[in-house]
Amino acid sequence: MRTGMAELPLHNGKAPRWLFYRMVRLSESVLDYISYEYNQRELLLRISNPFWFQALSCALGFDWHSSGTTTTTLGALKQACKPEEHGIAFAGGKGKASMRTKEEIENFGDIFNLPTVKIESMRRASKLAAKVDNSCLQDGYQIYHHSFILTEKGEWAVVQQGMMAEKKYARRYHWLGLKTKSFIDEPHEAILCDKKEEKALDMTSRKSEDARKASIDLANDGIKRLNRIITGQRSLDEFTHPEIHFPKRHGIQRVDISPAGWKALKIAGEIQPENYEELISISGLGAKTIRALALLSELLFGTEASWKDPVKYSFAHGGKDGIPYPVDTKTYDETIDVLKNALQEAKVGNNEKYKALERLKIFTDI
């Protein structure tokens, strides 16, 4: 289940070496404390909570409201983490590091002595979480950071971030494997952000269920029928750049299916996926093809997909002005207390500890 989403200003640059060094030390103390006082599952629960993650980033010393809270905090946690000692590991990361997620999941799975079937299920979860937030939820943010957190028991969480370069904003997505019953049927539990996009195709919405079913039917019919539908039964010579025209209310005048998309649809026609997860798991079936199938489904069958951005306008614990819901003071206080206790037990200098607690206090007062 996707447990939250955060939208943050996109900042360039990286944390200074001296700051990152201290962030790693404090991160190790937090990992030590939660592993000792609670367990690895508790850490997954907290990392998948957008508010707790934001508070942790602030306490570690990074800008509480910038995109760096994701990349730098996860980088510090990954460097501080000792899999054999903490019973937890961080795979993936930013840019090229995210491409190593699959390999690192396998390596950490071997360290934890997990069965092959469990390792494969986690690798699939990593791929699907990225595919859903990059292609099934088309909010304009391209994933550039993907972190997969796994425990010695094979439980997992995902924290990933997308970028909208032209608006200089980043959006963070949180997933928790413990609650993931479906990757494509309203997988998010809570969403955190400051702004909302006017239009966003959300194929994970329950309102898109019929569109998902119709998309499967269209894909299973094979590319010959799709070609005839899109081109009005014109000759195959005109299929190089097929275009579909739709009502203006979608804000989309045409949809192009890329060559890779056509190849993926050909594979779909051959393997006949039984459900939407199987369909989107096909390599090469990306955002454009998913959108084209959704729009074709509406054109042919009247099955409307959701075009509402699923984000909300508040931190996970509730807004101070009561919008969209009142502050959950119990959750708020408990969230902060765990971090306070972890920092007080930190094996760092008193001055460093004091500054971290002060930063946390500033965050809670915002």
Task: Tell which wins on pLDDT, 74 or 299.
Answer: 74
Residue type, 345: E
d(CA 116, CA 123): 11
**Residue 359 pLDDT more than 90?**
no
Segments making up each domain of the chain, as ranges? 2-198+311-365, 206-301
What is the tens place of the pLDDT at every residue in 57-66? 877 765 544 5
**Residue 180 pLDDT more than 80?**
yes
Task: Tell which wins on pLDDT, 177 or 246.
Answer: 177
Report yes or no: 264 and 287 within 8 Å, Cβ to Cβ: no
Residue type, 335: T
CB atoms inside a 10 Å sphere around CB 248: 8
Half-sphere exposure of 354 (CA within 13 A, CB side): 3
pLDDT of residue 157: 95
- Average pLDDT for 349-359: 66
Closest CA to 54 of 6, 89, 17, 100: 6
- Average pLDDT for 202-207: 96
CB atoms inside a 10 Å sphere around CB 121: 15
**Residue 13 pLDDT more than 80?**
no
Q: Which residue has the tokens 């500890």?
A: 353
Residue 198, SS3 per DSSP = coil
Residue 247's Cβ-count burial label (10 Å; 0-12, 13-18, 19+) is exposed
Residue 316, SS3 per DSSP = coil
Tokens of 223: 């590319």
Name the strand (E) or helix (H) holding 337.
helix 329-344
d(CA 135, CA 142): 9
- Average pLDDT for 79-87: 95
d(CA 94, CA 163): 12
Tokens of 89: 């590991």
**243-244 and 255-256: which strand pairing?**
antiparallel
**Residue 128 pLDDT more than 60?**
yes
Report yes or no: 59 and 343 within 8 Å, Cβ to Cβ: yes
Report yes or no: 26 and 343 within 8 Å, Cβ to Cβ: yes
Residue 223, SS3 per DSSP = helix
- Average pLDDT for 305-323: 58
- Cis? peptide before 273, omega within 30° of 0: no
What is the tens place of the pLDDT at every residue in 151-176? 999 999 999 988 887 777 778 899 99
CB atoms inside a 10 Å sphere around CB 222: 15
What is the tens place of the pLDDT at every residue in 22-40? 788 888 888 988 888 889 9
Closest CA to 192 of 207, 171, 166: 171
Closest CA to 343 of 77, 64, 60, 68: 60
**Residue 340 pLDDT more than 90?**
no
Question: What is the SS3 assignment for 226-275?
Answer: HHHHHHCCCCHHHCCCCEECCCHHHCCCCEECCHHHHHHHHHHHHHCCCC
